[in-house]
Amino acid sequence: MDMTTTWTRRMLANVALGLILLGALLGPGTQALAAGRGCQDNLIAVALAPGLPRNQQVFARLCLPEGPPPATVQLLVHGITYTHLHWDFPDPTGGTARYSYVNAALEAGFATLAMDRIGGGASSHPLGALVTIESNAYVVHQVVQALRAGSVRGPAGALGFSRRWCSSATPTAPSPPGTRRPTTRMSMASSSAG
């Protein structure tokens, strides 16, 4: 072997080792950055289309703020090139949660459910031709149904968020006089980049 081939092999080995270490640091077992917060990883069984078996799994991390369970959970859906860690990204300088949307939501009293879209992160990776806009929408719909049904587990057991949708960008209007306001809400956020 000549020197160039040896150098190239060593460089490739170092890059592979670095990627393995990065994957270990940022894998599905990474704890949420919000210290003292309760988070629970879930695998939710889903189908890629109506009528198909629920033979795929979506990874989702439910994080709850301290205190009683909140009335609202924010469903966090990442862009095409990201994972659930897009919402809870570690600060490269260490010691802070300044890049963590999850931490900001928990500080504001909201629960978050950050999911890996089908075909990405710790979710199932079906054939690429099966991962379409339609299948992604259907999978997110099933995650919402799982939240409503109470089959998504938090640190202390299953929680249900079932009565009302509200947008995280729109404040909830006061209830008209004489009406009863549902106490449970769900909001959805998605990253626009990627």
Residues 20, 26, 28, 30, CA torsion sign: positive
The reply to whether 121 falls in a domain is yes
Q: Which residue has the higher pLDDT, 75 or 89?
A: 75
Highest mean pLDDT among 43-47, 82-86, 144-148, 174-178: 43-47
The beta strand positions in the chain, using DSSP E, are 38-46, 56-64, 72-77, 111-115, 152-154, 157-159, 164-165, 185-190
Q: pLDDT band at residue 137, thresholds of 50, 70 and 90?
A: very high
**Is 70 exceeded by the pLDDT of residue 194?**
no
Task: Please count the structural domains in the chain.
Answer: 1
Which range, of 11-15, 103-107, 142-146, 189-193, averages the lowest pLDDT? 189-193
Q: Are 106 and 112 in contact (CB under 8 A)?
A: yes
The reply to whether 82 falls in a domain is yes
Domain housing 135 = 33-169+181-190
**Is 70 exceeded by the pLDDT of residue 98?**
yes
pTM, two decimal places: 0.67
The reply to whether 10 falls in a domain is no
Q: pLDDT band at residue 183, thresholds of 50, 70 and 90?
A: very low
CATH code of the domain covering residue 142: 3.40.50.1820
The reply to whether 84 falls in a domain is yes
What phi and psi, each to the nearest 5 degrees, are found at residue 116?
A: -95, 125
What residue has token string 């060593």?
10
Of the candidates 58, 60, 70, the residue with the CA atom closest to the CA atom of residue 39: 60
Rounded Cα distance between 43 and 24, Å, is 19
Pairing of strands 56-64, 111-115: antiparallel
The reply to whether 4 falls in a domain is no
The reply to whether 19 falls in a domain is no
> What local confidence, expressed as pLDDT, does residue 146 receive?
94
